[in-house]
Amino acid sequence: MYKTDIPTTFPKDFLWGGATAANQVEGGWNLDGKGLTTAEVVQKATDRLHFRRTPVTADSIAVAVADKTDTLYPKRRGIDFYHHYQEDIALFAEMGFKAFRLSISWARIFPKGDDAEPNEAGLRFYDAVFAECRRHGIEPVVTISHFETPLGLTLKQNGWASRATIEAFLRYTAVLFNRYKGIVKYWLTFNEINAIQNGTTGTGAVDADLPLAEKAQLRFQALHHQFVASARAVQQAHAIDPAAKVGCMLARMQTYPKTADPEDVRAAQFADQLNLFYTDVQARGEYPEYMNRFFSENRVQLVLAPDDEEILRQGTVDFISFSYYMSMVASPALNVTQFQEGFALGEKNPYLPASAWGWQIDPVGLRISLNEMWDRYRLPLFVVENGLGAEDEVTTDGKIHDDYRIDYLRGHIAQMKEAIRDGVQLMGYTTWGPIDLISASTSEMSKRYGFIYVDQDDDGNGTLARLRKDSFYWYQQVIQSNGENL
Ligand code: BGP
């Protein structure tokens, strides 16, 4: 029916906040029984402008496991949230956060991934973190798997390449849903599930030495296992806690044609399909037809168990979350590269500025994506990552004047408001890295996103002191005015 009561701004219960991941903030990599994860055997990227990381191989893992320090592996130290969580959550509360998105480290709960019993000390850490959130009236939004697989599962069965990892995951999720029933309402199964394109980060499988065709086969099979695991986790969560809401999570890449040439427009449409395919499966409950053609042309042959299709149909998500940092310009090369070698930045868009890391800044693209995804899925949307990675300078007065970050965020929030006026149902907005943390792609500390500065350099030197940046006070009044004062 035609509606006249179009919302003009953010809903009253809008979830304003910030988002982090265990392996980028916690540190304490070997404390209280925690096992190693795939994130903690990755060295710093050699090329800082590149998404690509130093490849993980059987040899590099053996060297990393033997190394008991955190010098070469920054995700082992994070920003020591493990010991600073009270102070950090208090700072989030001071900004007025309604929500804090964080992830649980599977290897804190099951150190090898599939141990006989969960590790009580690991659970106690998250008990304390959630209690702290609740004390401040902050809603936790929890990612179950954010770019880290227990290394035990990688060594034993090559992570998600093995179907057996589904069962290990469901034992882990059962522990979480039971323990945090009534405490955590919003869950995300896999962070940026399309990161399987990047290999080990997404799949927990070592595949760097495989020929391209075999890599594609392994990654899509691993992805299929994640789809099944995610769908079963949705059902499991609902059975254990009917109030729980479970979402999927995609790295959204809004893609534009290079020109109005229909071939370019088709290239952009195809790039968009390759990006949205993951959400098609998780929100609609089946593989879209266009992927059949893609799979057959790329000689990918998925192995499905008899019940898999039914499981996907039954386990569709309650809401859709995604990260949004930039947009892309399509080129046939981009589609190929993304599927063979992981994320690539693609062609330069002459209308857009870019960050120091080459990410093209495009607030209007967020409005376009929100509209497109709302039209396509008709499920509530949640922007769970957005932000500007930049090198900040502490001035002599001890301040950080990050007006560039404020400009970036202001632009994107304004476009979210437009999308809401377009009729899009948007649940919330958690900016990436509200406190500076270790970069996912480069493992650098100096690529900062925070409202809160952390005194630590790329080599781990620093006092770890937390300082409020100018953007801290700005975001505080954005939340206070429910998005009216930008
Ligand atoms: C997303 C990840 C995050 C994150 C962010 C920024 O891909 O979900 O974990 O870090 O991007 O990326 P980066 O740290 O590489 O700048």
pLDDT tens by residue, 69-79: 999 999 999 99
pLDDT tens by residue, 376-415: 999 999 999 999 999 999 999 999 999 999 999 999 999 9
Give the Å distances, CA to CA, from 159 to 5, 55, 221, 318, 333: 49, 16, 11, 27, 29
Quick one: pLDDT at residue 48? 59
ipTM for the predicted complex comes to 0.98
Residue 148 Cβ inside 6 Å of ligand 1? The answer reads: no
Quick one: pLDDT at residue 346? 77
Average pLDDT score over residue span 82-111: 98
Instruction: Give the pair of three-digit tokens for residue 214.
Output: 């075999």
**Ligand 1 pocket: which of 191, 194, 439 to mutate (most atoms <8 Å of CB)?**
439
Helix (H, G, I), strand (E, B) or coil at 371: helix
Question: Looking at the predicted structure, is the pLDDT value of residue 341 above 70?
Answer: no
- Which is nearest to 122 in space by CA: 179, 61, 54? 179
Global pTM value: 0.97
Distance 55 CA to ligand 1 centre (A): 18
- 419 neighbors 399 (Cβ within 8 angstroms): no
pLDDT band for position 43 (cuts 50, 70, 90): confident
Burial of 375 per CB tally in 10 Å (0-12, 13-18, 19+): exposed
Give, as one character, the DSSP assignment of residue 360.
B
- 45 neighbors 438 (Cβ within 8 angstroms): no
Average pLDDT in the chain? 94
Quick one: pLDDT at residue 44? 77
Residue 198 Cβ inside 6 Å of ligand 1? The answer reads: no
Helix (H, G, I), strand (E, B) or coil at 50: coil
Length of the chain: 486
Task: Examine the residue annotation and report whether 139 is marked as an active-site residue of this protein.
Answer: no
Question: Which CATH code for domain 15-480?
Answer: 3.20.20.80
Residue that has been written with the tokens 């998105």 in this structure: 101
Question: Looking at the predicted structure, is the pLDDT value of residue 49 above 80?
Answer: no
Chain centre to alpha carbon of residue 213: 26
pLDDT tens by residue, 147-192: 999 999 999 999 999 999 999 999 999 999 999 999 999 999 999 9
Upper half-sphere CA count for residue 276 (Cβ side, 13 Å):
22
Burial of 68 per CB tally in 10 Å (0-12, 13-18, 19+): exposed
Residue 437 Cβ inside 6 Å of ligand 1? The answer reads: no
